[in-house]
Structure 1
Amino acid sequence: MARVRVLPESARSPGRRETESALSLADRMPHLVLESRRVAANLAHGIHGRRRAGTGETFWQFRPFVAGEAAQRVDWRRSARDDRLYVREREWETAQTVWFWIDRSASMGYVSELAQAPKIERAIVLGLALADTFVEAGERVGMLGLMPPRATRRIAETMAQTLVTDRFSLEEDLPPQAPVAPQHEAVLISDFLSPLHDVTAMVEGISSRGARGHLVMIVDPVEETFPFQGQAVLHDLEDGLSLRIGDAVSWGRAYRLRIEEHREALQQLARRRGWTLTIHRTDRPASEAALRIMTLVSTARGTGPGGR
């Protein structure tokens, strides 16, 4: 029977090891994404193919003036350097800000000997790695209720420091009711073991203004299989309750059925709101979930192949 344990509150904040693991994963992400996109031939620049001419404010490049264009588009200072007329192009900046939320409540401290890492460590590594990858691709990243959108190249360290100094979120298993602008995206990383009506209210609150979202469900393998026998004591890590049961095998059958029903309801919720649901087991590499999420984000923006 697999041994399980629960990490203390002090272990539910990112330390040097989690931050370094996230940056290491982020370093590998471009290669993983490129390998995936090579099949679909849809990736041109970075993760989302953002860098192209558009209506933004950031200078991108000069290009030769084309007959028929409005004369006010000519950059006369640049054109004065030689005998050609040039237009100052700006970078297309309609790619959305990405908002993250990482569940650090008590249930995320659960870990069995079958897992590669505790749920909270995997959630933090995934969140920081994805944020680093988004920023590298030219996106802005914020944290719901904690940090405004930023595009710093030290985004992983900045987010880690924000989490370390935030103690309130250690008691919350769902994100705050923070406004998310239309066309922005939310990446929510949790075990989503909260009551379905609470998760539904949260998703509908974020998506009501037109924001897209991605639910990343972190699962320990023991939470899926419930491999216990005989008498057992079940502990509610959020409320501190305990329940002694006499036949763990019978409980296991009922438990697995309820877990399946809960996940199906989450999948229907995500599909109904145009969101995605990713289920990631902690006995699998973090890179698998990271690549899938990047694929789903690109697909949601119409820049990549579909995936479930």
Structure 2
Amino acid sequence: MLPTPALLAHAANLDLVIRHVLAGLGHGIHAGRERGAGVEFSEYRAYAPGDEWRRVDWKLLARADRYYVREAERDSHVAAWLWLDASASMAEPSYAMPGLDKLWFARTALACVAAIAQRQGDAFGLVVCADGRAEVTPASRGPRQLQRVLAALARASASGTLPAAEAMKTALRIAAAPAVVFAASDCLDWPSPLSEALQRLRHLRHDVRLLALRTQAEVDGSFPSGVAYRDRETSGSEVLHRLLPTDRVAYRDRVFQHFAGVAAHCRQHDIALTQARIEEPLEAVLRGWLRPPAARGARR
């Protein structure tokens, strides 16, 4: 039996967790190579109107009396940008799996994406949004970059609020070249500066993939009876909230409406959305998140 997210959350070595999760996953961020006028020969194909004459193989024309062009392959590396919502609400724990919370799931999923990018030879960087700031680890390649990103993810703690729109603008300057953006958030604050940043990145033609995380209790209202809650992201808040059994139907309806709005916003702006519960197997969630946007719909 594969370890549950709760068991993995107790592992001290993030590298070992990543190796376990990625074993047999078999997915990359993008196709590693693409056809074109590159330098590594792939195959011949018949000439078609519009092909460049410099790609015609004239020696083959002399032998076969037909026009053929040389197809080649070239590397199609793109940068991967990892965006982590580390605001206070991401500290919400699972009541079904002790020791597991939304932040652990989000940063472990992003760590796996970083490891895949490093394996593919892509540049990758990280943006951590917490305490009203956006902390950026610039994009680079290689094993050392992976360790830098993993260290930054390990340091992240759920606190404060998302950065304001002005702070997000600085982070938006990072992705000048084509990029795949993997953002992990609970999307409770939506619309928000984060949603506006992702929308802007998509309008700049980046491939934006959002992972919206909830706990099972947040999905169905199965919080322990009589437990009081305080708003984690309101500074100095002393207001306690209690979810009574009679409130659960209304709660589920409000949650459904909120996330239906998140999904509608993502569809409107062509942001690929994956919705998941942190109690789900991490491998399965990653498989859906990594799938090219055209090949999937939103998970529910």
TM-score by length of 2: 0.71
Equivalent AA in structure 1 for residue 218 of structure 2: E
Aligned to 1:212: 207
Deviation digits for residues 72-107 of structure 1, max 9, x if unmatched?
x9xxxxxxxxxxxxxxx9852444311101122222
Matched, 1:202 2:184: no
Tell me if structure 2 keeps the 8 A contact 1:230–1:247.
yes
1:102 to 76, 84, 97: 84
Greater Cα offset, 121-130 or 141-150? 141-150
Contact 1:29/1:287 (8 A) holds in 2: yes
**1:142 to partner: Cα distance:** 1.4
* Structure 2: unaligned runs, 5 residues or longer: 1-8, 48-52, 58-70, 128-134
Instruction: Kindly indicate whether the alpha-carbon contact (under 8 Å) linking 1:106 and 1:170 is maintained by their aligned counterparts in 2.
Output: yes
Instruction: Specify the alignment match of 1:173 in structure 2.
Output: 162
Report if the CA contact (8 A) 2:161-2:233 is conserved. no
**Does 105-114 or 198-207 show the bigger shift?**
198-207
How far 1:147 sits from its partner (Å)?
1.9
CA offset digits 1:214-254 (Å, max 9, x no partner): 11012111111222476442211112524345661233222
Q: Quick one: distance in 1 between partners of 2:191 and 2:89?
A: 16
State the AA in 1 paired with 2:85. D
2:116 to 129, 133, 139: 133
**Count of residue correspondences:** 260
Residues 191, 219 of structure 1: 8 Å contact kept = yes
- 1:278 to partner: Cα distance: 0.9
Q: Tell me how large the CA RMSD over aligned residues is.
A: 3.8
**Partner residue of 1:8?**
none
Matches within 5 A, 1:106-185: 106-115=88-97, 117-144=100-127, 145-153=135-143, 155-164=145-154, 170-173=159-162, 176-177=168-169, 178-179=172-173, 180-181=175-176, 183-185=178-180
Report how far residue 164 of structure 1 moved.
4.8
Q: Which amino acid aligns with 2:271?
A: W
Whole-Å Cα distance in 2 between the matches of residues 133 and 197 of structure 1?
29
1:237 and 2:219 matched:
no
Contact 1:234–1:242 (8 Å) recurs in 2: no
1:96/1:184 contact within 8 Å kept: yes
Shift in CA distance, 111/197, structure 1 to aligned 2, threshold 3 Å:
closer
Distance 2:11 2:202 in 1: 32
Q: Which runs of 5+ in 1 are unaligned?
A: 1-11, 34-45, 74-88
Q: What is the identity, as a one-letter code, of the residue corresponding to 2:74?
A: W
Instruction: Say if 1:247 and 1:49 are closer, same or farther in 2 by CA, change over 3 A.
Output: closer
Cα distance in 2, alignment partners of residues 245 and 201 from structure 1: 29
Matched letter for residue 289 of structure 1? V
